[in-house]
A and B are shown apart, each in its own frame.
Chain A
Amino acid sequence: MLAFQKVRSFLFYLSLILFFGGLPFILFFALGYKFDPATFKLVRTGLIYVKTQPGGASIYLNNKLIPDKSPASIQELIPGVYKLKLELAQHYPWNGEVSVDAGKVSRLDKVILFTLTPDLEQLNQEKFSSFYLDAESGLIYYLNRKNDIVYRSNLEGSNFEDIASLPEDFSDIKEWGVSPDKTKLFIFSPRQIAVILFEGADNYGYSDSPVFLDYQRERIIQVYWHSDSYHLVVITNKHIGVIESRTGAVAVSLVDLNEENTASYYDNKHDILYFSDSQKSADGTIYNNLYRLKLNTDLYLLERLMKIKPSELLPSGGDTVRKEVPGE
């Protein structure tokens, strides 16, 4: 037993030496310290962490190839600026300068190395003026201005079907949009909107197709579908309004605009319109304000308003909403 106890004592003291001898090295390493033999001093270093997409790229640090390939960490770097080059066969190289700070990690983990031969695929060979992609439904809609036909395909660019014809006399199409229920689209020019029902779609409420909505005294800037796929939110050079997509519908002007070319974004999920407009304050300063117009909960109100005569709604040029100006 004595011999065992002697061995054990030896092991115990060896463990103590290993622990107290090794711990400073491990902690210094963890904190980024390095012994500099030239100065006989401890220097606090930093490291660069490189991760590329795809991985396996060769790493050149200050034009010198290091043995590791990405993802990799280059440790024990004296603080400073380093030139870094990442190379992968058949990919564009990445070049850049990386600053290394003492005790810190410089992370380059969002590097994408793009292939020299892009993953390009021709889906079809068609003649169209513009297209609209509905990723959710997996459909691509095409507008062919030459023969005024709307057709669609799947995301592979095949399985074509004609779904609508554009009105022949409709010129100067600025933009177009497919309704959220995918049964119709609108096209608009500066003075007119046309709503065209897709072939085979349920035409409930649409005795006419196309439906023409005229804006003779205003210039249409932008049109959005409301999420009910029936109302259109129309921005003109004078107003923001809503109009039903039926023949003879009368627009409801909700907001007067001061600026002619207002920028806008329509949140189709929540039926909220964000738009900008300028406004002049009492001291003459012009502010560019951002506004939010909620159209979701007010739909019932809109329907009620539609039943009122336009003359009642717009008694003097449609000044329905007055936006308050800061400082006024």
Chain B
Amino acid sequence: MNKEKVLKRAFEIIPGGLSWGIILSLIFLSVVYPIASAILIITFDFYWIIRTVYLTTLLIMAHHRLSREKNKDWLESCFNLPKEKDWSRLYQLVIFPVYNEGPEVTRPSLAALKATHYPKEKIIVVMAFENRNKHARENALILEKEFSSEFGAYLSTFHPDGLPGESRTKGANSSWAAKAAKEYIDGRKIAYENVLISCFDADTCVEPEYFGCLSYHFLTSDKPHQASYQPMPVYNNNIWQAPSFARLVEISGSFCQLIESMRLEKFVTFSSHSMSFKTLVEIDYWPVDMISDDSVIYWKGYLHYNGDYRVVPLYITVSMDVAYSNNIWRTTVVQYKQKRRWAWGVENFAFVATGFLKNRDIPLTKKLRRLFHLLDSHVTWAVWAVILVLIGPLPILFGGAFFSSMSIAYNLPKITGLLFNFTLLTSITWIFLSWAILPPRPKGISWFKNIILVLEWAFVPFLIIVLGSIPALDAQTRLMFARYMEFNPTLKGNKVL
């Protein structure tokens, strides 16, 4: 194994090693030195409540901004820009990577694209199918018949299976499709800097003003080619039909993205996103052998531009499907696998760390700060619920008579209980905001569902463990032992499959 591979393996082990180290150390301390463990738990609890309040405040701010901007007439704003910022030169290249999703999933996405206010002749659609899906060509024909005449250009691509150096990932398919689109763009002699590319999940439905919003931000940004543009993902397509806990998990996911949009120095692309086509070509497209292509593309840009690359938040939503199945157990499995795939983004740490070692132009402090942020977010994801829910009571359980006689043994449950109650207050804010983010209740859905929407928050302690920490620990442990995951598309429940 060469030096680079050894370093990469070491960086792959660090996040999981750190997460397990924290958990096992606290368990060990709870048994042999419960007082130290209790002090650490109280410290963590206090840190967590401060962090929760801080993040909830950011969520309120982001939510406020989203409410203010999501219905804005962005094209009108584009019209009002100075002449040198001519939006009409911009083409919108939209790629939908499709694997096993049928027309019932992709049709609403294309219909939403068709309903956008952006001039359709400036929209180039690429439906990127996987050749290994035996229904790919049949599905492509169905969609072509319905939508090919609706846009400036409509391409169907079929990504061959097993190309050298590729894994079965969404990024490989997207890159193949982007290269096919490049041929089309070259053929039409369209300048790359005039093309904005959006890579959307197959079930992504955009708002009518999406491309107006994207164009406006692109034209008004400083160094617009050195940025990715991140809309706010919501899971509204089938949210009223989805089971309670699946809905809750996805709402929490949307909220996390909203919070991240306020922390620009840490903001990384996630799921459906847009960027300059020129930049995409320059940084050699999405990675073809990594699952977390949506975030790695940002890091590729960051490394390529020596740290001068950022994510611009777009306060406009793109709506996707809540992942669920036809019973609670299968839904839990579907959700678990999706969250584990998201948590597989921990592979970014090794990618970024090895990239930083090669790059001499990014300042060391900047490198360390970004690596710390990455490590912090993944390790916190894996351990926080375990510490709060499972390790918290351990000093009392294992402390024995001596620990029980100490003031701290008496104060530990009191303080943690108080802090938890405080967290409940922030939960009320989250409940209120989750209500505000919902689409109107469709006909045929009982008003009683509104009450369920509130009551379902009682699942939170269960969810933070089962669909929070455990999938993250699972992903980190797999990466530690080099058991690399393959892309496994989520079962989407627009129509229950």
Interface residues of A (CB under 8 A from B): 1, 4-5, 7-8, 11-12, 15, 18-19, 22-23, 26-27, 29-32, 45-47, 49, 73, 103-105, 107
Knowing A11-B54, A12-B54, A105-B405 are in contact, say whether A30-B47 is a contact too (CB < 8 A). Answer: no
**B415 at the A interface (CB under 8 A):** yes
Measured between beta carbons, the chain B residues less than 8 angstroms from A1 are 264
14 pairs across A/B with beta carbons < 8 Å?
A: A1-B264, A4-B61, A19-B50, A22-B46, A23-B46, A26-B415, A29-B415, A30-B42, A30-B408, A47-B407, A103-B406, A104-B406, A104-B407, A105-B406
**B179 at the A interface (CB under 8 A):** no
Measured between beta carbons, the chain B residues less than 8 angstroms from A19 are 46-47, 50
B interface bracket (residues with beta carbon within 8 Å of A): 20 to 34
Q: Are B262 and A73 in contact (CB under 8 A)?
A: no
- Return the CB mask of B40-61 against A: 1 if under 8 Å, else 0: 0011001100110110011001
Q: Are A105 and B409 in contact (CB under 8 A)?
A: yes
Measured between beta carbons, the chain A residues less than 8 angstroms from B359 are none
| Cα of A7 to Cα of B406 in the assembled complex, Å | 42
Q: Are A46 and B407 in contact (CB under 8 A)?
A: yes
Q: Are B53 and A15 in contact (CB under 8 A)?
A: yes
Considering the complex, give the chain A residue whose CB is closest to the CB of B262.
A8
**10 other contacts beyond A22-B50, A31-B39, A49-B410, with CB at 8 A cut-off?**
A4-B65, A8-B263, A15-B51, A19-B46, A30-B38, A30-B411, A46-B407, A47-B410, A104-B406, A105-B407
| Cα of A5 to Cα of B61 in the assembled complex, Å | 10
Measured between beta carbons, the chain A residues less than 8 angstroms from B46 are 19, 22-23, 26
**B412 at the A interface (CB under 8 A):** yes
Measured between beta carbons, the chain A residues less than 8 angstroms from B415 are 26, 29-30
Number of A-B contacts (CB under 8 A): 69
| Cα of A23 to Cα of B412 in the assembled complex, Å | 14
Q: Are B408 and A7 in contact (CB under 8 A)?
A: no
Q: Are A5 and B406 in contact (CB under 8 A)?
A: no
Measured between beta carbons, the chain B residues less than 8 angstroms from A49 are 410
The 6 tightest CB contacts between A and B, nearest first, are: A32-B407, A30-B411, A15-B54, A105-B410, A19-B50, A30-B408
Considering the complex, give the chain B residue whose CB is closest to the CB of A7.
B61
Considering the complex, give the chain B residue whose CB is closest to the CB of A8.
B262
Considering the complex, give the chain A residue whose CB is closest to the CB of B54.
A15
Measured between beta carbons, the chain B residues less than 8 angstroms from A27 are 39, 42-43
| Cα of A15 to Cα of B56 in the assembled complex, Å | 12
Q: Which of B39, B47, B262 contacts A4 (CB 8 A)?
A: B262
| B461 nearest CB across to chain A (Å) | 23
| Cα of A107 to Cα of B264 in the assembled complex, Å | 52
Measured between beta carbons, the chain B residues less than 8 angstroms from A12 are 54
Q: Are B39 and A30 in contact (CB under 8 A)?
A: yes
Measured between beta carbons, the chain B residues less than 8 angstroms from A5 are 262, 264
Q: Are A15 and B50 in contact (CB under 8 A)?
A: yes
| B399 nearest CB across to chain A (Å) | 12
Considering the complex, give the chain B residue whose CB is closest to the CB of A23.
B46
Measured between beta carbons, the chain A residues less than 8 angstroms from B38 are 30
Q: Are B406 and A29 in contact (CB under 8 A)?
A: no
| A99 nearest CB across to chain B (Å) | 12
| A214 nearest CB across to chain B (Å) | 56
Considering the complex, give the chain B residue whose CB is closest to the CB of A45.
B407
Knowing A15-B50, A73-B410, A104-B406 are in contact, say whether A8-B39 is a contact too (CB < 8 A). Answer: no
